Amino acid sequence: MEALTCKIKSLNISEKKGTIKTPRKELKLNLDGIEGDAHAGKWHRQISLLAAESIKSFEGELGREIKYGEFAENITTEGIAVHKAMPFDRFRAGKLELEVTQIGKKCHGDNCEIFQLAGKCVMPKEGIFCRVLKPGTLSENEELEYIPKTFRIKVITLSDRAFHGIYKDKSGPLLEKLSKDWFTSKTYLCETSRTVIPDEKELLEAELQNAVNDGYDIIYTTGSTGIGPRDIAPTIISNFIDLEIPGIMDHIRLKYGAQKPNALLSRSIAGVKDKTLVFSLPGSTKAVNEYLTEIHKILMHSFLMLHGIDGH
């Protein structure tokens, strides 16, 4: 697929927050943001971007010309609708790399110089915010390459019988489909990889570690979560993860166990390893549907927290 790019029309900074920014021909960016700009710091909204197309359309509402930087955007772009980007998407210029952290913001109204002068502001709806992942220098008229985030998911089915071909794995393919459907509904790209292994400790440990080493965003295991002699997933995963997230699995057990008490026998576990979310699910397709319904409700907020982005 051909890379999407936008042109930098203006680079703008201000020494005080909530004030109009003035253009510069070049900006130096470090891991705290733009040198000399009021929004620099160790937080997720270091740099703001706004498309020239958004400014142009807003001129009709105000009935006058709007100068670049007047809405306090650091980077004025042209060529793509930047407000349609999503958190975790990236912009790259040479070695420099920015990560999108937030779309839009709360307007400060009367406390904002921009609002006082213009009466309205386009930033709350069409401005986006980024943080610096890799420092560098930006120049006016330079191009930024837009790189949409692709979430990568590893699905591991644990089943002696499915591995030996006694029956067909159904929960693994369903996990793949439901995951892809959900990320697509959020306008994200999604890639999955699936494998079937027997209920063997060493094999599961190897699959988990390889998935983390390969940078997968989520690992789902399905099967081997009960109290049978070969149900190993919860114990292995508990020893593997850095942090457990007990609330989500407790909630699911209680919700569905209220109707079917057998669901309370599941030892499913959720947690974090490095920057990867890990969830062990029961092996039935019904359970996969039920568990993902609840997991998807907290999934994006989990990623924001995991990557130090304030999504509140």
Query: How would you write 136-204 as a 3-class SS string?
Result: EEEECCCEEEEECCEEEEEEEEECHHHHCCCCCCCHHHHHHHHHHHHHHHCCCEEEEEEEEECCCHHHH
Over the chain, what is the mean pLDDT? 93
Query: 95, 115, 147 — which closes off a domain?
Result: 147
The answer as to whether 199 is a domain residue is yes
Least confident of 105-119, 227-241, 243-257: 105-119
Write out the residue range of the structural domain in which residue 228 sits. Answer: 150-307
pLDDT-based confidence at 71, cuts 50/70/90? confident
Shared domain check, 154 and 143: no
CATH number, domain containing residue 164: 3.40.980.10
pLDDT of residue 111: 53
> Mean pLDDT over residues 113-135, rounded?
79
For residues 133 and 159, membership in a common domain is answered with: no
Q: Are residues 13 and 116 in the same domain?
A: yes
This prediction's pTM: 0.91
Q: Per-residue pLDDT for 99 more than 80? A: yes
> In 10 A of CB 298, how many CB atoms?
16
- Same domain membership, residue 229 and residue 125: no
State whether 135 and 173 are in the same domain.
Answer: no
Q: Which of 26-35, 113-122, 180-189, 264-273 has the lowest mean pLDDT?
A: 113-122
Residue 312 domain flag: no
Q: Which of 147, 182, 214 is the last residue of a domain?
A: 147
**Residues 196 and 67 grouped into a single domain:** no
Backbone dihedral angles phi then psi of residue 33, each to the nearest 5 degrees: 120, -145
Q: Are residues 226 and 112 in the same domain?
A: no
Measure the CA–CA gap between 187 and 87, rounded to whole angstroms: 11
Let me know if residue 19 belongs to a domain. yes
pLDDT of residue 62: 73
93 falls within a domain: yes
* Digit-coded pLDDT (tens) for 187-212: 999 999 999 999 999 999 999 999 99
Percent of the chain exceeding pLDDT 70 equals 94
Residues 163-185 pLDDT 10s: 999 999 999 999 999 999 999 99
* 249 and 111 in a common domain: no
